[in-house]
Homo-oligomer: A and B are copies of this chain.
Amino acid sequence: MKNTQVPPAAKADRSTVRRHNLSLVLRVVHDEGEVTRAAVAARVGLTRAAVSSLVEQLLAGGFLVESGKTFSGQAGRPGTVLKVAGTGPAGLGIEINIDYVSVCVVDLAGTDRVRLTTHLDNRGAAPEEVLDRAARIAARTLDSAAEQELRPAGVRLAVPGLVSGGTVRQAPNLGWNGVAAEGMFAQALARLRPGARALPVGSDNEANSAALAELWFGGLDRARSFLYLTGETGVGGALVLDGELLRGAHGFAGEIGHVVVDPDGPECRCGARGCLEQYAGQAALLRNAGLEQGAAGAPAVTELERRARQGEPRAVAAIEEAGRRLGLVLSGAVNLFDPDAVVLGGSYRLLMPWLAPATHAELARRVVSGLWSADGGRLRASSSSGDAARGAAAQVVREVLADPVAYTEGQPG
């Protein structure tokens, strides 16, 4: 992604300070939703004159709009209410998963404005082909975004694997090793839209992006420290601590799917044996439930849920067994990390009525602090309003909020 770092303090001249203050004002309006210039000035500790000048620049740049409302405070004339723009600066997020690609454009407020999801099997295809498919879906999404006058500042790919330095080091379920996904995606998109301005492309682990979506859009009771699990073909994980993603020393933290359940268990695609994914991933769930061979993805999980709802013993037993294994590994993770909550996303959301009691029983039995013994309230399904694509798009928007001037400079006249 583009460089959004402010130069070091020693070199802070007047334009650097103004650049910083533009971001400060923009973020206050973003966080407050609707707010007057006077309220912004009170929040940031600058004079009303200074704030007015910054607001003018942000209005001219298309970051803010006046909402049309006015607000009468205790003193002075009524102030016009500001909010972030619903057009212009935006983020493009692309989740590339095993059996679907989901592309999302969010605006400055983080609202999901365009969404295009295609279910397809990415397992047999070469990385180039998968990224080409993603670029085609992204190009169509960009067309819809343009109709809504949204101009993305950049792209963030969310991939189920270990991602660092622009490269997918390893994505076992995709069969990717050392794939330079950012560059390949950028080239594919440039071939499809040769006239368009090149968007900077970043990448992240899909569980990280999904956990950030949960943090930012997960609703009012959201926890500030939680463990997030995706439940797709793979079992991804992410740790959020005090509202910050914990990335680890090399960016590879959160790989809960490869925590060992049984050292002599079935071989995993990562090369080790008996990983959690072999017990609580979609393939294990569907196989243990007796769903026909080759059943996979969202339709198969929906079928599994239907059978469980009808009380079919094999379906219920398969989900409960996955829940028990999840609970064993999660109790260890909670003992290590002591989060406020554990959030289960992806297909686990659908299976919660049968999964959660089995998972919670192990947490209650094994978390040494005893904090999990009382009730299941800390174990919950992810909210319906966040996913990896939206999280990835919102990561791009956060970079715009952190340095709106860089965005302006990146846009054509």
Contacts and interface: CB of A to CB of B under 8 A. Distances in A.
A241 to B, nearest CB: 7
B338 A369 contact: no
Contact of A258 (B225, B248, B260, B335): B335
B256 A335 contact: yes
A219 interface: no
A252 interface: yes
Interface residues of A, number: 47
Contacts of A256: 335-336
A366 B272 contact: yes
Interface in A298-356: 328-329, 331-333, 335-340
A259 to B, nearest CB: 4
A237 B255 CA distance: 19
B260 A332 contact: yes
Interface in A217-267: 223-225, 237, 239, 241, 246-256, 258-260, 263
A170 interface: yes
A20 to B, nearest CB: 17
A332 B259 contact: yes
A169 to B, nearest CB: 7
Interface string A129-164: 000000000000000000000000000000000100
A202 to B, nearest CB: 19
Contact of A369 (B162, B333, B337, B362): B162
B255 A369 contact: yes
A292 B223 CA distance: 50
A332 B335 contact: no
Contact of A253 (B252, B258, B336): B336
A370 interface: yes
A395 to B, nearest CB: 19
Contact of A252 (B162, B249, B252, B369): B369
Contact of A272 (B248, B249, B272, B368): B368
A123 interface: no
Contacts of A248: 225, 337-339
A259 B335 contact: yes
Contacts of A333: 336
A1 B392 CA distance: 43
